[in-house]
A and B are shown apart, each in its own frame.
Chain A
Amino acid sequence: MFPLCKMAVVCCLFSLLLACSPKELVRIGFLGGMSGRVADLGVAGRNGAMLAIEQRNAAGGVHGRAVELVVKDDEQNPEVAKKAVADLLNSNIELIIGPMTSSIAMAVLEQVNASKSILLSPTVTTTALTGKDDNFMRVIGDTGSYATKVARYQVQKFGRRTVAVIYDQNNSSYTESWFADFRREFELLGGSVVAVQTYHSAPITSFSQLAITLLKQKPQLVLVITNAVDAALICQQVRKLDAAVPIEMAEWASTERFIELAGGAAEGVIVSQFVNRTDRSERYQAFLKQYRERFGGQEPGFAGLAGYDAALVAMDAYAARKDGESLKQTIIRLNSFQGGQQKYQIDRFGDANRTTTVTIVRNGTYQTLE
């Protein structure tokens, strides 16, 4: 009788110990530029991902396992990014949300392809990664869809035939891809590019001289392909010289920070958006409210929403993963995902089909044109 009792007590203690031992964390990496002058994209993306993960953890995690976001700052520097990715891969992290810019994606792609992990980018849109069966996936479409739409819009709707372009070479994978897609469509429809200015974004960059050169050919349109801060400064310089020339921007700059920094120069600027800013749906409004509450009233912008969507895809993949399946296979199998705003599909190459809208800045807000 006594040994039986002993055994029962040991069993009870053991089962209690098992019950008490915490479940292993689901660890998801994050790679984005979160320091420096143009960190708003990376910070918002990271915040979006954090919000999604905190919400999922509050609801019980993935199959009872808490999710942890392991954040790495790439400082918008390819070498720093490579080291950060190596650290994440060494920690056996299978899925990295990020990076936020195309140039960094191109820099770390080889490293990730050589591993079993995948990159799930919220905002990388270069066409250089489209239709490739590699370890890179994204919750966003490529520049091809946005740039051609904008080019068509400018020619067909406004009849603009000449364009002067300025773009940042620090993120050339994105900016050049965007420009090439735009140029192809614009020239196909009878337009011509009259001036191209490039620069490397830095705190000491002066835009006044660039603006003068840009407007020399008297273009019917100025196209700005750069980050929000630079775009704001360029718009300010262009407006100093010419109050009327229409300005078009790539969606990279379509953040609240642009409107704040560009001041009156932002008025009338046409910019395509990943986000439907007039969306009144309950889902999107709830997302906005939660984001603002969590981050002291800050706006998520497109990067916050994309980061949020990417984290949702990552966690859905972990939750739906079958035995012996890679996360990439799971994502391709699931195919359809509900984001914070829209429902979209990710194809077998890991590219998403998301719709964009064309907006114009009026009275300090983005208003949807199409």
Chain B
Amino acid sequence: MTVRPLRHMLVRFAALITLLPVGLSALLGGLWLLPQAEQEIASYHRQLALAIAGQVDSYFKTSRVTAVSVAGAIDHDEHFAAVQQAIAINLQLLKRLRAMYLVDRAGRVRAVGVSNMSKALQDDLLGLDLSRNELFQKAKSTGVEQWSDNFLSVVGGGLSVAVAVPTADNVVIAEFDLAYLSEFLHRTTPDSEQVVLLIDRRGQVVADQAGTWTAQQLNLNNIPLIRDRLNSSKEVRGSLVLNGVEMVGSLHKIDTVDWWVLVARPTQTAYRQLWTSLGIMAVALSATTLAAFGVAMVLTRRMSQRFESLAGHAQQSTGGEQTSGWPHSNIAEFNALADSLEKMSESLHERARLLEDEVAERQQAQEELHEKAVLLEQEIAERVLAEQSLQVKQTQLETLNLTLEDRVQQEVSKNREKDIIMIQQGRLAAMGEMLSNIAHQWRQPLNELAIMIQTLRLEYDDNALDGERIDEHTEDCMKTIQYMSQTITTFQDFFKQNKVVQQFDLSAAIMAAAGLLQASFQAAGISLKLDLQPGCLLQGQPNDISQVVLNLCNNARDILQARAVADPVIRVTSQQVQDTVEIVVEDNGGGIADEVIDKVFDPYFTTKHKSQGTGLGLYISRKIIEGSFSGTIAVEATSNGARFQIVIPVKLSALAI
């Protein structure tokens, strides 16, 4: 249900009651007054049109008489000169007669008269061929009088209408000036708002008050009202738009020439009187309505103000104010209402006080509860945070664990690659050493070969060289050469890469190394002392042990040479101690400084000049001992030198042998 203010409702009712008579008046006007006014306008138009139609009709009737009279004269006397004279007389008598001519059967003009015509022009017109003239053709073929549509006269230049009256052999044609009709309309209906037009069969304007539309041969066939009259011989009336102006008009027929009279007035003008009357009525009604409405408004306002005043008081009371002095008036019903409201207000205030106390208690309890809830929420939030942080760390740890193995693997493989490169470098360095050793090794036999060759010459010169002597020399030389070859083979064996694990005699491997060093040590004046326990068997590559011993001995030699030690000695011992084999290489080269002793096994660490050492020998030696033989290598300083101790566990298989 829609709730509306009392004032609006009362205003609406008042409006309805006051506007109802206005609506009824409008309805009455529409249903009765308007048709009545239309009828009156039509009647006025009809009377005017009939009057004009009568005048125009008589215009044509009198006009045709002239043609008929000439035609009648021809019947009696066909002498064209007489006809010419009759025409001239008619032209003088009837000003609107523009031209008249007699056309023979073949369509040739035989007699002619034109108003204000010169002789030359008359001669021009005589003998003209009018056989194609529509009016002539019609009159000739039907044998009865014919009226033309309007046309532009060749002789006069203005709009004309012609009547053709046939005789036995000829046709008399009389042309009348239509300007007269326009002038007539202008004289008859000077009212500028009133439009009176004569329209021909084709819908073309043949006369109008101003004459302009006629002169311009305006065709109004496009106006529905005018087009409709073609299908009806009765009068037609209705509305039309003429030259952009809305009009009401009627069309009436002119019988003689089958033309029409249109009488029209602008709709606004035609209904002006009606609208004026209606306007006055409307103003009077509006004034009455407004007055009644005004009174109703005032009453409504007062009543609603009283209600509003009571409502305002009640509002104050609702707002908690202690109200007194409820508004009273001279209307009993309002006073009773005010008293009742006052009592109700007091009672309500009492109840409100009780309610407020209860509300205060509950509010306190609620606040406490609220505080606890807030604390709880904070705690929960902290725990959630801690849990989340834990979870993040756990995730990080898991990720780390997942990748740890991979990274270790990567590092190990990197180290392995690095080791391989280093070992290779070490071998190259050793090869350099070896070449030096080969040089020392060969120097002696080469000298021997040289001496023997020189001896050959001397003995030949002395004739002491016979076959036996040559064989001896040859044998000696071959021995020397075989020795040199053996040296090469030994070096080759040393560098042969043999991956096959085998059991070998430790002392043999050390001897091999010593053999390689022998020549260079002799050259350097170093004494190499070997104290080897035979029968110590090891599993692995004999060359590896040889390389380690070679490295240690080379280092010792380099130190001894560098420090130019008097009586340089390198001592190599090997012995089996329980389940291990112990190899010791010591020298009297002055030892190793304390600050570098921990670094000697590091890769690329060297105390030698860059051209002399790579710093890889000891590193590779340790790798070989630890990697290939699962043993240990250690260094210590002695009273006058350095002592390297290698300890290798003897494999079970080796012990079994």
Please tell me which one of the listed residues A68, A208, A295 contacts residue B123 in the complex, with CB atoms under 8 A apart. A208
- B120 sits at the interface (CB 8 A): yes
- A214 sits at the interface (CB 8 A): no
- B319 sits at the interface (CB 8 A): no
Interface of B is mostly: loop
Stretch in B201-209, B523-531, B586-594, B598-606 touching the partner? B201-209
Question: Are the C-beta atoms of A35 and B130 separated by less than 8 Å?
Answer: no
**A39-B215 Cα distance, complex, nearest whole Å:** 9
- B578 sits at the interface (CB 8 A): no
Question: Are the C-beta atoms of A262 and B129 separated by less than 8 Å?
Answer: yes
Question: Are the C-beta atoms of A34 and B217 separated by less than 8 Å?
Answer: yes
Interface of A is mostly: helix
Contacts of A204 in B (CB 8 A): 118, 121
Closest to B136 in A: A263
Interface flags for A181-220 (1: CB within 8 Å of B; 0: not) read 0000000000000000000000111111100000000000
- A298 sits at the interface (CB 8 A): yes
Interface flags for A246-257 (1: CB within 8 Å of B; 0: not) read 000000000000
Q: How far is the CB of A253 from chain B (nearest CB, A)?
A: 13
Question: Are the C-beta atoms of B133 and A263 separated by less than 8 Å?
Answer: yes
- B244 sits at the interface (CB 8 A): yes
Contacts of B107 in A (CB 8 A): 263-264
Question: Are the C-beta atoms of B201 and A296 separated by less than 8 Å?
Answer: yes
Interface flags for B399-434 (1: CB within 8 Å of A; 0: not) read 000000000000000000000000000000000000
**A239-B157 Cα distance, complex, nearest whole Å:** 23
Question: Are the C-beta atoms of A264 and B215 separated by less than 8 Å?
Answer: no
Question: Are the C-beta atoms of B219 and A47 separated by less than 8 Å?
Answer: yes
Question: Are the C-beta atoms of A294 and B221 separated by less than 8 Å?
Answer: yes
Question: Are the C-beta atoms of A297 and B202 separated by less than 8 Å?
Answer: yes
- B612 sits at the interface (CB 8 A): no
Question: Are the C-beta atoms of A203 and B202 separated by less than 8 Å?
Answer: no
Question: Are the C-beta atoms of B156 and A46 separated by less than 8 Å?
Answer: no
Please tell me which one of the listed residues A54, A71, A206, A263 contacts residue B222 in the complex, with CB atoms under 8 A apart. A54
**A38-B151 Cα distance, complex, nearest whole Å:** 11
Contacts of B157 in A (CB 8 A): 36-37, 203
Q: How far is the CB of B104 from chain A (nearest CB, A)?
A: 13
How many chain B residues touch the partner (CB < 8 A)?
34
- B155 sits at the interface (CB 8 A): yes
Contacts of A68 in B (CB 8 A): 244
Contacts of A208 in B (CB 8 A): 120, 123-124
Question: Are the C-beta atoms of A207 and B221 separated by less than 8 Å?
Answer: no
Question: Are the C-beta atoms of B152 and A37 separated by less than 8 Å?
Answer: yes
Question: Are the C-beta atoms of A294 and B222 separated by less than 8 Å?
Answer: yes
How many chain A residues touch the partner (CB < 8 A)?
44
Contacts of B133 in A (CB 8 A): 260, 263
List 14 extra interface pairs beyond A34-B215, A263-B129, A264-B131, CB under 8 A: A35-B215, A35-B216, A39-B216, A68-B244, A204-B118, A206-B118, A236-B127, A260-B132, A261-B132, A262-B132, A296-B202, A297-B202, A298-B202, A364-B132
- A43 sits at the interface (CB 8 A): yes
14 interchain pairs (CB within 8 A)?
A35-B215, A39-B217, A68-B244, A73-B216, A203-B155, A204-B121, A206-B123, A207-B124, A236-B124, A236-B127, A263-B132, A264-B131, A295-B219, A298-B219
Closest to A38 in B: B152
Question: Are the C-beta atoms of B129 and A236 separated by less than 8 Å?
Answer: yes
Please tell me which one of the listed residues B121, B152, B203 contacts residue A206 in the complex, with CB atoms under 8 A apart. B121
Instruction: Contacts A73-B215, A296-B221 given; indicate if A236 touches B128 (C-beta within 8 A).
Output: yes
**Chain A, 249-281, CB within 8 A of any chain B CB:** 259-266
- A229 sits at the interface (CB 8 A): yes
Q: How far is the CB of A100 from chain B (nearest CB, A)?
A: 13
Contacts of A35 in B (CB 8 A): 215-216
Interface centre among B128, B132, B152, B219, by most A CB within 10 Å? B132
**A265-B153 Cα distance, complex, nearest whole Å:** 19
**A229-B120 Cα distance, complex, nearest whole Å:** 18
List 5 tightest A-B contacts by C-beta distance, closest first. Answer: A296-B202, A263-B129, A37-B157, A206-B120, A35-B215
Contacts of A206 in B (CB 8 A): 118, 120-121, 123-124
Q: How far is the CB of B571 from chain A (nearest CB, A)?
A: 115
Contacts of A293 in B (CB 8 A): 221
Contacts of A263 in B (CB 8 A): 107, 128-133
Contacts of A116 in B (CB 8 A): none
Question: Are the C-beta atoms of B124 and A237 separated by less than 8 Å?
Answer: yes
**A240-B128 Cα distance, complex, nearest whole Å:** 8
Question: Are the C-beta atoms of B219 and A209 separated by less than 8 Å?
Answer: no
**A203-B204 Cα distance, complex, nearest whole Å:** 24
Question: Are the C-beta atoms of B156 and A203 separated by less than 8 Å?
Answer: yes
Question: Are the C-beta atoms of B154 and A261 separated by less than 8 Å?
Answer: yes
- A233 sits at the interface (CB 8 A): yes
Closest to B107 in A: A263
- B305 sits at the interface (CB 8 A): no
Q: How far is the CB of B151 from chain A (nearest CB, A)?
A: 9
